[in-house]
Amino acid sequence: MRIAYLDCFSGISGDMFLGALLDAGVSPALLEKTVAALGVGAHLEIGRVERGGIRATKVDVIVAGARGKPRRQEHGHDRGHHHHEDSPAQPGAAVPHEHGRGLKEIREIIRHAGISAGAKETAIAIFEALGQAEAEIHNVSIEKIHFHEVGAADALADIVGAAVGAEALGVDEWVCSPLNLGGGTVECAHGIFPVPAPATLKLLAGASVYSSGVQAELVTPTGAAIVSVLAGRFAPFPAMKIEKSAYGAGTRDLHGQPNVLRLTVGEAQARAETASDLVAVLEANLDDLNPQLFGYVMERALAEGALDVFGAPVQMKKNRPGMLLTVLCRPEDADRLAKLLFTETTTLGVRRREERRQVLRRESVSVETPWGAVRMKVAHLNGSVANFAPEYEDCRRIAGEHHLPLKTVMQEASRLYLERQHG
């Protein structure tokens, strides 16, 4: 299986993604033709630059002769003139405010574009992810979201180009690293916000993120939307036989790190299906503990780092019913958790032993339900999926927010996961 890995140590934006695709071998003529055919007055300028000592491909989307469009809130229904930290607005750049393009119009532009059905579906999904994020933030329907006139043309070029280029790269799976969000603040239509911007944060639900402390907005809403749709999972560098590596450049030259997106393409390599590690097992028999405290102790142990906690009814001496409390933990946590059991229960002794366990290779993937993203826990054995289950807390939150039966949310998440596996 051919996979592509996005290494977002300096974040991701639409133009960085286009640059990485081109650097990986996607035809410049293909993307230039795709953007020109959209009929929105946009074209691409492609060049080679250096960022922090790394040679990379730089893509600029030119709209009505202007470079550096207002990327900030390009996807919102407010029409303030804002820009992305990585693409500062140029002095004197014209910013039309008369009207914006709604999703209905954008869908029609994409549907009439001369690209494959798969690329159309991907591009529309990315735009709808952007629109849905803004709709939820501003508490309006998605159809009321309008993309700014200039920002819409810029986003169309980025997103449709990304969909066409990703298809042309010919990979079976996209995997994304944890994303470096950056730091500082960014000016949005409603005022100053800390990085990440609200739409970016909404789009990255379920993703692995961090900040290296760089005071700049490193992940744009467009970049976050592309990743949220394309990436099947967020993980460390996967096992692969490397075919090529490529770099897409951001606009700024950041101090202390290359402002590039790295894309690595290769053939997936088989990984060990199971792993073995050492765990400590703590046990205590309890026959005089208030039952109201039992659940509390279990929750405390999990909060303190236990791998698992469970109880089982037992018949103890003098024929008194009791509970066997078992805690699984890392050996280095055993002393601390044993102290917790002495403090929070009535036990006079805690049994302790170490055991070796074998575990399946596991990963977390995200599926998009009609009510929001749900993480799926997936276990692999012999090259195929052995078990999968929706993340309970995600489903519980959605059920509460939308007043739905919990089982309905869990069933729909499982159905969508299976549909994607077999689709």
Q: What is the pTM of this model?
A: 0.61
For the chain, list the domains and their CATH numbers: 2-268 (no CATH), 274-349 (3.30.70.1380), 362-422 (3.10.20.300)
10, pLDDT greater than 80: yes
State the SS3 of the chain. Answer: CEEEEEECECEECHHHHHHHHHHCCCCHHHHHHHHHHCCCCEEEEEEEEEECCEEEEEEEEEECCECCCCCCCCCCCCCCCCCECCECCCCCCCCCCCCEEEHHHHHHHHHCCCCCHHHHHHHHHHHHHHHHHHHHHHCCCHHHCEEEHHHHHHHHHHHHHHHHHHHHHCCCEEEECCEECECCEEEECCEEEECCCHHHHHHCCCCCEECCCCCCECECHHHHHHHHHHCCEECCCCCEEEEEEEEEECCCCCCCCCCEEEEEEEEECCCCCEEEEEEEEEEEEECCCCHHHHHHHHHHHHHCCCCEEEEEEEECHHHCEEEEEEEEECHHHHHHHHHHHHHHCCCCCCEEEEEEEEEEEEEEEEEEECCEEEEEEEEEECCEEEEEEECHHHHHHHHHHHCCCHHHHHHHHHHHHHHHHHC
CA-based Rg of the chain, rounded to a whole angstrom?
A: 25
Taking 80 as the threshold, does the pLDDT of residue 92 lie above it?
A: no
pLDDT digits (tens, 9 = 90+) for 252-292: 999 888 999 999 999 987 665 566 788 999 999 999 998 88
128-168, pLDDT tens digit by residue? Answer: 999 999 899 888 888 888 776 556 889 999 999 999 999 99
With a cut of 60, say whether residue 99 has pLDDT above it. Answer: no
Give the mean model confidence (pLDDT) for residues 387-414: 94
Q: pLDDT tens digits for 43-71? A: 999 999 999 999 999 999 998 766 644 44
What count of other Cβ atoms lies within 10 Å of the Cβ of residue 43? 15
Per-chain mean pLDDT for the chain:
87
Give the chain's length.
423
What pLDDT, in 10s, does the model give residues 182-193? 999 988 767 788
Query: Is the pLDDT reported for residue 86 higher than 80?
Result: no
Q: Quote the CA–CA distance of 174 and 166 in Å, as a whole number.
A: 9
Q: What is the pLDDT of residue 65?
A: 66
Most confident of 3-7, 68-72, 80-84, 383-387: 3-7
- Report whether pLDDT(85) > 60: no
pLDDT tens profile 336-376 = 999 999 999 999 999 999 998 888 888 888 899 999 999 99
